[in-house]
């Protein structure tokens, strides 16, 4: 039974493999100080989104362990019996941190994005969506069955044109964008997007997944950096990246949050986050507020890394304030082989291939944490540069680091 389906899948897998687009399923143990352990080796990792090093912070682990000592799973969705004191306290603290009226937790950032769009937007509405938005926003747009018009943040006159042509085709209009783009670390031109949203009576929704805790004077993300928090309809944050935990949350005005509580399907058809995760994220939020030097250090390291990359003659695909550095993989570069070679030398630097990024924009995505040292950044870049020498010849053994 189902043999023909399996045969089709095997054929498709073989096609992925021959295109170098199948994804290795590694087992990686995350360690403190930007390290990880993989295949028996300890590597310095530039792959995690743990930007502030909070996944291993003693206060965060202690808060988690303490709450986990009382209870593990939530047992049901928040709607039924899953919303504990920890959930309520985290929602209140997130709302306060974001200077917002209310917040609502979701089981993941993905669920927060997809569920928010599904609950707010219907087939009679119209969506204007940035073309590089995260998959969870793209999937959320599909769930709405509304007409979707793509735009690029690099051409706002064209967006204006698209809005002029299509705005009146929908009852409500929604402008949807990542705040920080996950594959290149750039920030959306939010002030100008707000102006367009206001002019065309559209609700602007911003995914702050890679901004929260990292950019903005107080770590409230791209909207804070661009000084538009009060002009944006909703902001969606993930608790899984700089906050070192798991989950997502939507922050906004009280009636909209109440509507999402009643209508966002991933939020009430999925078991609530474990209370211990909420306790851990509450501890992370305290650190984000109390230790701005972590963020400043990361910002400085990001600038230094960009200079190091340029000095090494590598091409950066985009310049942004976030600690994500997209290093171009030159045409013909065997990405998987390069990643393996870097691992042999003691570094983990992920290669990103389609469909995560468009064909022709394959890259190495270097993400920094406040725990990385500038010498470590210099060494991995030197290693990558030597591997991709302009003569096209890979060195059989790149210079390795002393573990
Ligand atoms: C821009 C963006 N939004 C949302 C998400 C989803 O967040 P989570 O991993 O918490 O589900 C991600 C995850 O990588 C992301 O990069």
- Same domain, yes or no: 235 and 358: no
Classify residue 11: in a domain, yes or no. Answer: no
Alpha helices in 69-108 (DSSP H): 85-97
Other CB atoms within 10 Å distance of the CB of residue 3: 7
**pLDDT of 22:** 84
Q: In this structure, is residue 253 part of a structural domain?
A: yes
Whether residue 219 sits in one domain with residue 206: yes
Domain containing 263: what range?
58-290
How far is residue 89's CA from residue 249's CA, in Å, rounded to a whole number? 13
Which ligand 1 atom minimizes the distance to the CA of 113?
4
Q: Is 241 a catalytic residue?
A: yes
Query: What number of other Cβ atoms are within 10 A of residue 99's Cβ?
Result: 12
For residue 182, indicate whether it is catalytic.
yes
Question: 59 C-alpha vs ligand 1 centroid, how far in Å?
Answer: 24
Q: If you measure from the C-alpha of residue 3 to the centroid of ligand 1, how many angstroms do you get, rounded to a whole number?
A: 35
Domain annotation covers residue 10: no
Q: What is the pLDDT along the chain (403 residues), one digit of tens a residue?
A: 789 999 999 999 999 888 877 888 889 999 999 999 998 999 999 999 999 999 999 999 999 999 999 999 999 999 999 999 999 999 999 999 999 999 999 999 999 999 999 999 999 999 999 999 999 999 999 999 999 999 999 999 999 999 999 999 999 999 999 999 999 999 999 999 999 999 999 999 999 999 999 999 999 999 999 999 999 999 999 999 999 999 999 999 999 999 999 999 999 899 999 999 999 999 999 999 999 999 999 999 999 999 999 999 999 999 999 999 999 998 888 888 899 999 999 999 999 988 889 888 999 999 999 999 999 999 999 999 988 765 544 444 444 554 4
At residue 401, the pLDDT reads 55
CA distance 64 to 39: 28
182 located within any domain: yes
Cis status of the peptide bond prior to 391, with omega within 30 of 0: no
Q: Are residues 146 and 175 in the same domain?
A: yes
pLDDT given at position 19: 82
**Contact at 8 Å (CB) between 273 and 247?**
yes
> What's the confidence (pLDDT) of residue 399?
47
Q: Do 98 and 245 lie in a common domain?
A: yes
In the chain, the number of structural domains is: 2
139 and 224 co-located in one domain? yes
Q: Do both 150 and 258 map to the same domain? A: yes
Task: Tell me whether strands 126-130 and 363-367 are parallel, antiparallel or unpaired.
Answer: unpaired
261 and 143 both lie in a single domain: yes
Q: Are residues 37 and 91 in the same domain?
A: no
Whether residue 283 is found in the same domain as residue 314: no
If 0-12 CB within 10 Å is exposed, 13-18 middle and 19+ buried, where does residue 312 land?
Answer: middle
Same domain, 47 and 140: no
Identify whether 233 is part of a domain: yes
Distance, C-alpha 118 to centroid of its chain: 20
Contact 32, 56 (CB under 8 A): yes
Question: Using an 8 Å Cβ cutoff, are 85 and 91 in contact?
Answer: no
Q: Torsions phi, psi of 37, nearest 5?
A: -120, 125
- The residues lining ligand 1, judged by C-beta closer than 6 Å to any ligand atom, are 108-110, 113, 134, 136, 178, 182, 207, 209-210, 238, 240, 248
Residues 39 and 79 placed together within one structural domain of the fold: no
**Domain CATH code at residue 381:** 3.90.1150.10
Predicted pLDDT of residue 400? 54
Edge-to-edge strands, sheet with 363-367: 324-328, 363-367, 351-352
The CA distance from 255 to 119, in Å, is 13
- Do 126 and 256 lie in one domain? The reply is yes
Output the residue whose Cα is nearest ligand 1's atom 3: 209
């Amino acid at each position: 039974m189902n043999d023909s389906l399996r045969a089709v899948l095997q054929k498709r897998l073989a096609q992925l493999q021959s295109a170098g687009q199948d994804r290795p399923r590694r087992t990686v143990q995350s360690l403190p100080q930007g390290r990880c352990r993989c295949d028996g080796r300890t590597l310095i990792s530039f792959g995690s989104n743990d930007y502030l090093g909070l996944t291993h912070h003693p206060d965060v682990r202690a808060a988690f362990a303490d709450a986990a000592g009382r209870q593990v799973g939530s047992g049901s969705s928040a709607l039924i019996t899953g919303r504990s004191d920890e959930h309520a306290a985290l929602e209140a603290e997130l709302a306060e941190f974001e200077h917002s009226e209310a917040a609502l937790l979701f089981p993941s950032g993905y669920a927060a994005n997809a569920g928010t769009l599904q609950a707010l937007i219907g087939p009679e509405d119209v969506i204007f969506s940035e073309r590089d938005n995260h998959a969870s926003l793209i999937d959320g747009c599909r769930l709405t069955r509304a007409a979707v018009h793509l735009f690029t943040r690099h051409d706002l006159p064209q967006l204006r044109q698209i809005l002029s042509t299509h705005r009146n085709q929908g009852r409500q209009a929604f402008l949807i964008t990542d705040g920080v783009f996950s594959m290149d670390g750039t920030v959306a031109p939010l002030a100008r997007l707000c102006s367009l949203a206001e002019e065309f009576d559209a609700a602007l929704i911003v995914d702050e997944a890679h901004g929260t805790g990292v950019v903005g004077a107080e770590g409230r993300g791209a909207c804070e950096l661009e000084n538009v928090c009060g002009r944006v309809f909703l902001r969606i944050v993930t608790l899984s990246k700089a906050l070192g935990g798991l989950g997502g949350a939507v922050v906004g005005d009280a009636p909209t949050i109440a509507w999402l509580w009643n209508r966002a399907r991933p939020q009430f058809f999925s078991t609530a986050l474990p209370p211990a995760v909420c306790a851990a994220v509450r501890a992370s939020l305290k650190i984000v507020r109390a230790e701005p030097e972590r963020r400043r250090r990361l910002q400085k390291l990001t600038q230094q890394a960009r200079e190091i990359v340029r000095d090494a003659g590598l091409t950066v695909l985009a310049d942004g304030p976030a600690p994500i550095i997209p290093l171009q993989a030159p045409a013909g570069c065997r990405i998987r082989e390069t990643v393996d070679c870097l691992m042999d030398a003691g570094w983990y630097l992920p290669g990103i291939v389609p469909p995560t990024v468009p064909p022709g924009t394959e890259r190495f995505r270097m993400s920094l944490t406040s725990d990385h040292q500038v010498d470590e950044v210099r060494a991995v870049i030197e290693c990558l540069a030597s591997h991709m020498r302009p003569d096209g010849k890979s060195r059989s053994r790149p210079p390795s680091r002393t573990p």
